[in-house]
Amino acid sequence: MDLHHASAIVTGGVSGLGAATSRALASRGIKVFAIDLQQSVDKAEPVDGITYLPADVTKPEEVRAAVDAAADAGQLRVVVNCAGVLPTARILGRNGPHDPSLFAKVLEVNLMGSFNVLSIAAHRMQETEPDAEGQRGVVINTASIAAYEGQIGQVAYATSKAGIVGMTLPAARDLASHGIRVNAIAPGAVETPMIASVSEDIREGLAAGVPFPRRLARPDEFAQLVLAIIDHDYINGEVIRMDGALRMQAR
């Protein structure tokens, strides 16, 4: 895909997968607009080629403002959704049944947030001049291997990520006539702030369960896969696992 004069949106762009992706895109000369919550943007370290914008992906009006900024700055060609939350709770816990408001919040951020960005960005992306192959852009969402092998306590998270998986093909089909590809990456255990919040024993256990390479993935490897999907014009409607052949156990 032609990326000359291109702009990109990366949600969750201040830390973890989003930060690595933002830097990788900026290194290609793309004008990157990294979207994150205000408190995260306030702490962001300046990086050449990256503009940090405060926006909540669950609020369409804030997403629209960020998308407009990116589309007005260049040809909006790339959207990568990395924003997400990972709370844990069992359906039946020590304090009773799973809090339905927590379940709804996880779906709102992880699934609805991704859909908001996808749909609003696609609306502006369709106005972009197509390249020689008829392409206008590509959207890459972040799923998880939990969509396939959700663990104990991950019912909300796994459901939200399964929604990302289920959304990929119909979204690609919906947007095909506009020259917009839609794909998703399903990472396994990645060394991100989410993983850093758990104990060292848990992190070591996750790494030991990966067949090869026997370690946690790095955020820059996720970013590398993002670039590969962008460059490969024939990858569309696909969910790609990035997990070192890991298959999650129940706990």
* Contact criterion met (CB below 8 Å) for 18 and 80: yes
**Catalytic one of 52, 148, 157, 234:** 157
Residue of 20, 146, 5, 133 whose CA lies nearest to 80: 20
* Contact criterion met (CB below 8 Å) for 44 and 34: yes
* Contact criterion met (CB below 8 Å) for 21 and 13: yes
State the Cα angle at 45 between 41 and 51, rounded to 5°.
Answer: 60
The Cα-based distances of 105 to 91, 121, 129 in angstroms read: 15, 22, 37
Q: What is the CA radius of gyration of the chain?
A: 18
Is 157 noted as a catalytic residue in this protein? yes
Active-site residues, by number, are 157
